[in-house]
Each structure stands twice: as structure tokens, then as C-alpha cells.
Structure 1
């Protein structure tokens, strides 16, 4: 069992290294904040993809728009106008009234009348700004409402890209006082009529009705080291801008509000006029085809209020996130998927196609989770998926180049294209640690040598000799390659070629084909030498004859040498026998090319070539007698 496990680990070693390495790198980039903005963008896209939900009938908005400003003729509107507005809304018996206007100072006329409305309207909630920033200072609440405890904070949490994705339930002042948010205060009044009051859940989380509100943490979702002060929640927007019931200030003042339009509802009063600049970007603002849309602050407050009510009463899902450990596991999982795709798929096009499919599946899965109330980050696992697959493909490309270099170094000059292709196809079997593994093979070995070469060297100077010899070697090499052999080596004027390596022959017919190819090669060498001799004679250069020894048997073939010099070769008794046959009894005539073969080669020829038995002779280095045959020239 252990050896099998060890082998499996070795076979998958690249995946086992690449997957955790890429996942770890992605986690580091995630913690560095590189995926925060893309993660927000993907969340925004999920919001825009989601089908619109039904409107929340519990909320209505009274807007103060540009037309209203022209009608009343001033801003801020007077206390008289505001008092009349509140009285007309109160008369229709809403559950709560939220005044999202800063009214810490009187705006005459009508201050006394507004003060009386403040005192006599227990379900009216005013606002103040608690947290100052570089653009805005703190703003106190109306004094009377503050004394009556009918005040909440309307502070908004803005992300670094200017969008609102988080809402506040509570926040803390500099004095340490916990102040409820505007939306929470209104929702609390409404829920009290439904006999729903705040409770403490596990981990001291806030519980309202059916919902437990888990506080936002600094690294939730795609956030990294965000300010999680106060009691924040992720907003699960229900509507894009303009989706709540609206009526204008002028319509209310002129008694054009439908009957029961605000009864038993939460009524929010706020500005929507462009000149008043109370607008924010939300996930629905992004659009590649239109201008960015801004959402009035009062609508954002309505969304937060609706989210609290819907969760507490209807059980609508709040937006939740995974813990960091689950997220890291998610990243690692997709890194493994990418690494396996890169490792197992046979070609680049298929790998890219599967990467696209896997990426689509990841996005689709995260979107389905979003519809179920889970914000699962998309970008880090997507980068992990692509990164690990690309890393594996790059590694395989590198190793393939290295292996090809090994192959070309060992075989590039000495094998035919079909053999080279076969070697490359079976490289996983043949190559181990940069070498071609030694293996026992049934092969046919061919040795050639020139007759009286030593005497010939005295007739030519060194340059002429090398040119003459290279012309001969080139012609003989081409014939070996043309017949499917491998040029093993050149030894002076001798050529050693092997047929049947490095791809193992698994049947008798294939072995016979190698033997026939070797003999055919020798006969073609004879014909080529005859042509060379005619040319050399015409040029006034020496002519020559050759001897060939061919033996079929078992060889051991593989890489031989060291780091700085390595070659592929075959060794064994069969190699020695072929060499001995080439040099055997030089008195035996063979015309321009004498060809001697052993018994096994002869048996594999099946009478394809003319051959005759010379006899059985002792061969140096071998026990017993060796039967020797001579292949007759082709014209015979």
C-alpha cells in the first residue's frame, strides 16, 4: 500500500505543489487588499442581476424635490411649512415618522408651532450626525426631540469607492454613548406594535423577531481591514433607486395624498432635489451603458429600514459571509481544480475551454449563493483557479521544452521524423530525470566499415579526407534514417545503426520488420556507394568498398554519459556480434558491399532477400558456434 501511495504522490507531485502555492499567494494578495475593489464590483453585479423583489408596503417616502423648493420659495423650508407637513402626515396615523432633515436651528416663521408638533408627536424621530469627517462636521438634533429621546443617527458608511454597501444599527459617540441609527429607531417603533422587541442572541448578537443580525467584521466578504465600528450590517438591497412609494411635499400640503396612504406605515421625510446634494452611489449605480445613477439618502435609509423589518417579520435573508478559514478553503479548492485541469487535459485549447467553463461555474455558484443570502467572494478563487492552471500549463510547457531538448540532443541528428514523433509521444515512458531509461529491447544492429580505409587516408590530405568521408557518412546516414533506423554513432569510418529502438517492439512481426529494414538498408548503402564511387572516379578521387555486419538479438538501450556529455546508445552481445560479423574473414568476397548476418536475422527475412549460409564459426567473445549467412547483392 505504501509504495502505491508513494507512486501516486509522485505522479501528482506538481499538482500537490502548485495548488497550495498558488492558493497561498492568492490569500496573501487577498490580505494585501488587491481583490477588495474587484470583489465589490462583482457584488454590485450580483445586485443588478438579481430579479426585483416586491415592494415593501410598510414604508412610504415624502420627498422634497426641486418643484417643491420652487413652490415654497426657500431652503431650508420654514418651520411653519414643516409643522404643517408633519400635522397632515400625523393625521393619517402612521406608525412612525422619520424626519431626515437637520433642524437644530429655528427657521422662521413657525418655530413655536413646530415645537408644539415635536412635543405632541411621540412617534416622530429626528436625526443628528454623530461622526464627523473631513467633509462634514457633527450636527446636533432638534433640542426638543433630543430631550424626549426621539433622536437617532443618520450617519452613512461609505466604502472607499464611494458606494454604500453597509448600514448601521448602532454607533458610538465620542463619549461612548450607544446611539441607534435612524433606520433602526424607526423599525424598532414599527416592530413594537408587532410585539417584537430586541433580544440578545448567541455571542451577544442582536435578535429581532425571526432574524439574528450578525455584526460586520473588518474582513467580511471582499473587505480588508475595514472600519467595523459601531454595529454594522451588510446591506441586502431590495430595490434600485426610485422603488419606494413616494409623494411630494407639495402634494401632501395641498391635500392630494390618497386616503390611508400612510396609515400604519413608516413615513420618511427627506430631500431628493438635485440642488441639495443628498445623493450617494450604491451597487445599482454602476452601468456600462448609462450614466452612473445616484440614490437619495432618504432612499438608502428606507432600504435599511425595510431590510430590518423584512428580516424580523418576514424572515427575509440577511446577507452573510463565510469565516476566513472557510474562504481560504474555498480558494484552495479552486486552486486544486485549476491545477488538476492543467495537469490532466491533453491540449491547450481544451484546457482553456475547461477553464472558461469552470470559471462560469464558479461565478454561477456564487450568484446562486447570493440569491440565498450568502456573499461568497468570486475574485480570489477565480484568480486561484486561473493561476494554478496557468502555472501547471507553464510548467508542462517548460518541462516539454526540456524533454524535447533532451530528445533532440540524443536523437535530433540520428532518427527519422516518424521515429522522432514516436519517441516524443512516448516520452513519459522513456525519460526519467533527464535521461532515457535503460531498457532491454529486441533490436537489429548494423555495423559498416570501409575496406582498406587506412591506405586510403594516405592518398588524401586532411581537408580532402574529411570532405570525402563526410560525403560518405551523410549518404549512409540518410539511408539509415529512410529505413527507420537510428544512427547510434560514427567510429572513424565505421557507422553503427540500430533498428527497433527506442520504442519497444511488442510482437514478432515488428521485430521481423526491423530485421528486414536493416538488410534493405545495407543493400541501399551498397547501391549508394556504387553511385558515390562513379562520382568520385569522375572527380579523380579515390573509390572504396565496404563491409556490413547485421545481428538481431537483445540489446540494452538508454542514455550513457555524464552531465556534460551524454548520448543514446545500445550495448550488449548483439552489438558485439554485429561488429564481429562486419570484420569476420575479410577474404569473403561481396563485390562492392559484403553483408553478413546472424541466424536470427536470416530467420526474420522470410526469404525476402537472397541469402546463403556460409557456415558455423566460433566468434570471439561468444561461446559455441555462430551460424553466419551472407546476403547476396540485389542484382543476383
Structure 2
């Protein structure tokens, strides 16, 4: 196995805590909201599912409230509707999604009116028709007949149950038929609670100190199949519906030994899947049967003869928004009546389309294996790395698609959020590690080639992913040339080790400043430094940066001379007096990779490059240490304002050029130049004007005065042999002795490079 493969293996092993963490989050319930969202996604992609289960809803809706009136209603309405549906329409079971207790009665309610209705309902229920009323633990606090507080909470079988005699029963129907006497409580009741008041899971049963209570859907199905109370049994994680002869009609899987996870079959507002009728309409047609008008009776009979009623399970429940029994569902983004919970519970059991899930240990295996596989493919190296990454992406997409398909076709919930989240997290971390390793590799490339190429060029080469090619293009830049004054004499005095140490320290200082200011090192030629500003990285203020760099290099050399002097006899006197000259020019140059196809260098060429070199070599003739062409001064002032102080030195022609070039000395930074120096520059400029005006005496006098104020004076400043004022004193003397012709334009012609 290659070293790269071994590294990949170690990375995957090091990241195994990631899927373990996701498994912990899954187990702790921290991902429940995301899991619910993924379930909703499954339902909405799957769409509605048709079943043969006949569930009809009788809505206590706005029409009913407007016709009959606001609650509380006389329970005689309920008795008439339930009796007619069963006896006339052939409905098998009626379930009521209302807890008929006295807790909701207002003090202003007409007790006699309520009691009369209760008597009619009680009289009907006395013969135990297939009507199931609601009971609930959701009323957290209520009072008994003596006014004592009763605390109710759904007993969770999966938790630590208190002793059975301490488990308070749910709130059950209370049908008071005699004022002041205990109410009548029918036996056929079912729970309407849901887990955490949601719509995803319902408790199929709950133990209490009175008896075992079953869910409304369970009680309705018990009556639907005409089973005794013993026909419903809890067997571990299963709820069984068993005939007296032992035939198991349904074996319902339960989560945590109690909960049924609902399978939602359609949106609420789906007439084909959820036939709905107004409670008032049913009541009105039931009343029609009691009239003496044969035509009215026939209308009622026709209504109840509808096929949808035959052998159906009917749920009577509140749907009017004012009754506030609403919630969103996996298929309904807007809140809909929660009576649909019980209808879908009935359909889930009747159709036996149970939601199936993997065991916890199976989920953990899927999470770990899937995460490891995806992360490994994502960072797989070699010539097939791109294919491996593509397979990783397809694997994630395929897994998501598989989970959606299995749910739609098999009602099997393949974990989605935990394995995908774990796989992506592990992959991102693995890729992050890979990026770090690649950056280290790039760093090694920079370390190898950065000594030969400018770091910006190396970076550009790495980022482009392409091999360097021959060729160049024109761009405006500022070439930079520097050379140590009289360096050839250094080699006569210094040993080779001393020369190397000195040169390395000097070149390091120069290079650091150049690159810090955005310049690109081109090459070293012995003690000479060649650089460019404005390429390959564009710099709008390249001229200003170049001038600033020149000043910073001169300042750094001042510091080095002080350091070398402080080192005593280590260095000879010429090192203590070492000076460097710098030349700059700004203009169009050709830049790019020049050389052979196997060995080349990123460099610059052109007339403006040559002129920059002439600025450096020509600076000696003018007693200056940093000399620039006028194009550099203009471009510098355009971006740097007056921060850089220039001294006009005149106009020259260099060897190989016929056109005169205005030249300038870079004197210093405005904030560092003293008043004495500024006065010197002013006198010098006046002397230059006198010189051009052929006023030799006036020019000589002014240059003499400026010479006394020069910042660098021979004999005082180390390594200084001349300065511009002294140079012009000599020029003026020579010109006065041998005056130029009348057409003289003041241009000085340089005859050497």
C-alpha cells in the first residue's frame, strides 16, 4: 500500500469520532426536528396513498356552529347523529373526538338544558352501541367532584412508571343526568392524546390505577370487529387484536412498547381520501326522518343510503378554527383539524401500512459505514481521484434517493439526517485535512522555487495549475535596478566567507523590502538587484511603491552600516562606508517567461528597462544615490501626492537614446526631510534655472550655497564622494570656461552606460 493510501487510512481512523458524535446526537434527541423535517420531505415526495379503509369525517364546522350555536351544545344532538348514522346509514362505529366532561361548562350554562341532553345521550349509550367517546390525559390539571386538584400526565411505558395505584387515569366523559349527583360514565372510551401533542405518534394504550385505556382508534377497531375488551392485548412491542377463537386480526408494531407511528395517507383537504360531511347536515337529515312528510323522509333516507356510510368508521370532531384543535401535518403545511390524526391511525392499522424503522444498532452501523465510505472516496488520491469524488457525490445522492424510494414503496424509514449529516461532516473535515496537506506541499514548492522565482510568480503558477510557458506581453511597470558603490574593491579586501555573509545580509534586506512593498524580484547579478513593480501582480501605484522602496532600502542600509561599525574589527572600513545606488524608470515593458523551452525566467525587457538601468549607473555622475526618470516622478506624484520629495537634476541623453530625459533625485519622505534639506533643494533648483539661463556666476553662487546645506557631504557622511551641488559647481565652472554654442538647450549627453 502506498504512503498516500496509508495516510488516507489514518485520516479516516482519526475522524471516526465524527460518526460517533452524530450517533450520540441521534440518541439524545438533538436531531429530532431535522428528522421530522426529513420525514415530511418523504411524505410530500411520496404523495397520497389509497386504502380500502372507509373512514368518514363528520365536521363540527362553522355551518354547524352558526346553525346550532356555540358550545356547549345539548348532547341530544350528538345522540341523534350517532344513532341515525349507526341505525339508518349502516355505519359500523362512531368515534367522538371531544371529551364530554363538565370541565368545560360555564357557570352561566343552563344546567337543566344540559341535563336534558345528557339524559338523551345516556339513554342511547345505555345499551352499549358502537360509539366511542374520547378521554384524554392532555388536561394537565383538573378538579374532582370535591374540588381537589387532579394532575394528569400520559404514563410513558418506556420510562420509569410509578406504582400502578399512583397512576391517575385520564379525563373521561362525564354525562350528568341528575343535578348534584355523580355523572354517568360510559365504558366505551378511547384516548385522543398524541405524543408531545404532535401528530406523528399516538399512544395505543396506557396503564392507570383504574384500568388499561386504549387509543380512540384501538377502541373503534375493537368495536368494528366486535371484540370483547379482552380481544385487545399488549404483547411486548406489539398490540394484538384477537378473536375469541385465537385468530389474530392485526398485530400492530409499537415504538417503545406503546407508541404507534402514524402513516399519513393524504392531505386533509382531499375529498377522495377524506370524505367529509357537516355535522349540521347529518343532524338535519336525521331530523328529516322524524317528520310526517314522505318526501322529506325520502330525502333523509336517500342521504343515509349513500355507499360511503355503509360499514364505515365515522369520526365526529371539531374543524372550526375557533375551536383551536389544529396542527400542521407531514402533508399539510398549514394547520388542519387534528381529528385527522385518529383517521390516519385507523387507516394505518386497517391497511397494515405501518411505518418501519431500523433497529438502533442497525442505524449506528449505517451511519459509521456510510460516513467512512463517502469520506474515503472524497479524499482518495491517485490518477482516479476525480472519479472517486464523483462516486462519493453519486453515493450520497443515491442514498437519499434510495431512502425516498423505500419509504414510498415499502413504508421503510431509512435514516437520512444522521448518516448524511455524519458523512458530509466527516468528508468536509477530511477534505480540510487534505487542503492543509496540499498547502504544505505548495509551501514546499515555494521553498524550492521561491529562491529562483518571485513568490508571486510561484503562487500564480501553483494556483493556475498550468506549467509555465514561454512568451510575454506589454505592461506599464516600474523597473528597479540597484548596485553597490565600488563593490569590485570589496572582493580584494574581504575573504570569500566574509563577502558571502555581507552580501547575503544586504541582499536579504533589499529583497524583504521589495517584496513587502509589492515588488517582484527578477534576479541578482552579483551585488546588483533587479526587480519590477507592477508585474506579475498589478499595482496601480507601482511608481510610488518603487520610490518608497528605494528610500526604505537606503534607510535600511544606514542601519546596517551602523550595525557593521558597531561590530568593530569584524569588517574593514570600506564596509562601514558601503553605499548603494538605485535607478528607476516607469513605462511600457515586455514582461513574461523568457529563455529556452526547458529553462526560462520570468523577467522584463525593453527600452524602458534599459533606461532604468541607465538611471542607476548614471546616478554616480550626478552625486546621487537614487535617480529616477521624469515618468517615474509624475506617476509617483499621481498616486503618492507630495509624500516623496524629489530634486530636479536636469535633462540628459543616455547612450542608445537621442531624446533627452528629465531626471530627478529621490531625496526622502516629506515627513522626514528637514527644513535645512528643503532649503538646499530650493537653492539648488534656483541655481539650475540660472544655469539654463547661461548665468554662470549666479548659478555658481547658488550651487555653492546649496552645497553647504546638502544632507550628504563628503567627509561627513560615510561613503559619500560627491553630491549634486558639488557636481553642478564643477559643471558650471567647466561651462563658464568653455561656453556652449547659442543653440545650447542645457541637455547633458552621457557617453557611458
Q: TM-score, normalised by structure 1?
A: 0.58
Q: Is 1:120 aligned with 2:127?
A: yes
Measured against aligned partners, the alpha-carbon deviations of 1:178-207 in whole angstroms (never above 9, x if no partner) come to 21111111012223489x954666x46223
Contact 2:85 2:304 in 1 (8 A): no
Structure 1's unaligned 5+ residue stretches are 218-229, 287-292, 312-316, 428-449, 480-513, 519-531, 541-636
Where does residue 156 of structure 1 map in the other structure?
194
The Cα of 1:476 is off from its aligned counterpart by 6.8
The Cα of 1:467 is off from its aligned counterpart by 9.9
Where does residue 487 of structure 1 map in the other structure?
none
Contact 1:191 1:309 in 2 (8 A): no
- Alignment match of 2:265 (pick from 231, 238, 247): 238
In structure 2, what is the Cα distance between the partners aligned to 1:248 and 1:64? 6
In structure 2, what is the Cα distance between the partners aligned to 1:357 and 1:99? 50
Measured against aligned partners, the alpha-carbon deviations of 1:195-247 in whole angstroms (never above 9, x if no partner) come to x954666x462234575322213xxxxxxxxxxxx721111111221342222
Contact 2:237 2:253 in 1 (8 A): no
Contact 2:96 2:316 in 1 (8 A): yes
In structure 2, what is the Cα distance between the partners aligned to 1:345 and 1:303? 51
- Alignment match of 1:344 (pick from 351, 355, 380): 380
SS in 1 for 2:56: strand
> Structure 1 200/391 Cα, relative in aligned 2: closer, same or farther at 3 Å?
same
- Alignment match of 2:206 (pick from 157, 171, 178): 171
Measured against aligned partners, the alpha-carbon deviations of 1:15-64 in whole angstroms (never above 9, x if no partner) come to 3322x132123223334433221111111121122121125442212222
In structure 2, what is the Cα distance between the partners aligned to 1:233 and 1:364? 26
Q: Is 1:323 aligned with 2:359?
A: yes
Q: Is 1:206 aligned with 2:239?
A: yes
> Structure 1 345/75 Cα, relative in aligned 2: closer, same or farther at 3 Å?
farther
The Cα of 1:403 is off from its aligned counterpart by 2.6
SS in 2 for 1:327: helix
SS in 2 for 1:294: strand
Where does residue 306 of structure 1 map in the other structure?
347
In structure 1, what is the Cα distance between the partners aligned to 2:313 and 2:489? 115
Contact 1:198 1:207 in 2 (8 A): yes
Contact 1:80 1:108 in 2 (8 A): no
Q: Is 1:25 aligned with 2:21?
A: yes
In structure 2, what is the Cα distance between the partners aligned to 1:340 and 1:478? 52
Contact 1:122 1:150 in 2 (8 A): no
- Alignment match of 2:315 (pick from 247, 268, 276): 268
Q: CA RMSD in A?
A: 4.9
The Cα of 1:253 is off from its aligned counterpart by 2.2
Where does residue 295 of structure 1 map in the other structure?
336
In structure 2, what is the Cα distance between the partners aligned to 1:469 and 1:267? 97
- Alignment match of 2:411 (pick from 346, 360, 373): 373
- Alignment match of 1:259 (pick from 290, 294, 305): 305
- Alignment match of 1:403 (pick from 429, 441, 444): 441
After the TM superposition, which of the residue ranges 233-242 and 9-18 deviates more from structure 2?
A: 9-18
The Cα of 1:413 is off from its aligned counterpart by 0.4
Measured against aligned partners, the alpha-carbon deviations of 1:589-617 in whole angstroms (never above 9, x if no partner) come to xxxxxxxxxxxxxxxxxxxxxxxxxxxxx
Q: Of the two, which has the highest radius of gyration? A: 2
The Cα of 1:165 is off from its aligned counterpart by 0.6
In structure 1, what is the Cα distance between the partners aligned to 2:523 and 2:269? 88
In structure 2, what is the Cα distance between the partners aligned to 1:537 and 1:249? 108
In structure 1, what is the Cα distance between the partners aligned to 2:252 and 2:122? 36
The Cα of 1:149 is off from its aligned counterpart by 2.5
How does 1:507-526 map onto structure 2 within 5 Å?
A: none
Q: Is 1:364 aligned with 2:394?
A: no
- Alignment match of 1:53 (pick from 49, 71, 75): 49
Where does residue 12 of structure 1 map in the other structure?
9
Structure 2's unaligned 5+ residue stretches are 103-110, 143-150, 153-169, 177-182, 242-247, 286-299, 466-486, 511-521, 530-595, 601-612, 622-753
Contact 2:135 2:172 in 1 (8 A): yes
Q: Is 1:186 aligned with 2:223?
A: no
> Structure 1 6/246 Cα, relative in aligned 2: closer, same or farther at 3 Å?
same
SS in 1 for 2:203: strand
How does 1:37-186 map onto structure 2 within 5 Å?
A: 37-54=33-50, 56-92=52-88, 93-105=90-102, 107-133=114-140, 139-142=171-174, 149-158=187-196, 163-173=198-208, 175=209, 177-186=211-220
The Cα of 1:538 is off from its aligned counterpart by 12
> Structure 1 303/321 Cα, relative in aligned 2: closer, same or farther at 3 Å?
same
> Structure 1 10/254 Cα, relative in aligned 2: closer, same or farther at 3 Å?
closer
The Cα of 1:329 is off from its aligned counterpart by 1.5
Q: Is 1:216 aligned with 2:255?
A: yes
> Structure 1 407/265 Cα, relative in aligned 2: closer, same or farther at 3 Å?
same
Measured against aligned partners, the alpha-carbon deviations of 1:151-189 in whole angstroms (never above 9, x if no partner) come to 222222235xxx31101211233x273211111110122
- Alignment match of 2:425 (pick from 369, 387, 393): 387
Where does residue 278 of structure 2 map in the other structure?
248
Greater RCO (CA < 8 Å, at least 6 residues apart) = 1
How does 1:226-625 map onto structure 2 within 5 Å?
A: 231-243=258-270, 244-255=274-285, 256=300, 257-260=303-306, 261-286=308-333, 293-311=334-352, 317-344=353-380, 357-371=394-408, 372-414=410-452, 455=492, 457=494, 466=503, 474-475=524-525
> Structure 1 537/341 Cα, relative in aligned 2: closer, same or farther at 3 Å?
same
Contact 2:173 2:185 in 1 (8 A): no
In structure 1, what is the Cα distance between the partners aligned to 2:527 and 2:21? 52
> Structure 1 466/6 Cα, relative in aligned 2: closer, same or farther at 3 Å?
closer
The Cα of 1:473 is off from its aligned counterpart by 8.4
The Cα of 1:104 is off from its aligned counterpart by 3.5
Where does residue 437 of structure 1 map in the other structure?
none
In structure 2, what is the Cα distance between the partners aligned to 1:73 and 1:344? 72
Q: TM-score, normalised by structure 2?
A: 0.50
Q: How many residues align?
A: 441
In structure 2, what is the Cα distance between the partners aligned to 1:50 and 1:83? 40
> Structure 1 476/5 Cα, relative in aligned 2: closer, same or farther at 3 Å?
closer
SS in 1 for 2:133: strand
> Structure 1 474/111 Cα, relative in aligned 2: closer, same or farther at 3 Å?
closer
The Cα of 1:390 is off from its aligned counterpart by 1.1
The Cα of 1:362 is off from its aligned counterpart by 2.8
> Structure 1 467/53 Cα, relative in aligned 2: closer, same or farther at 3 Å?
closer
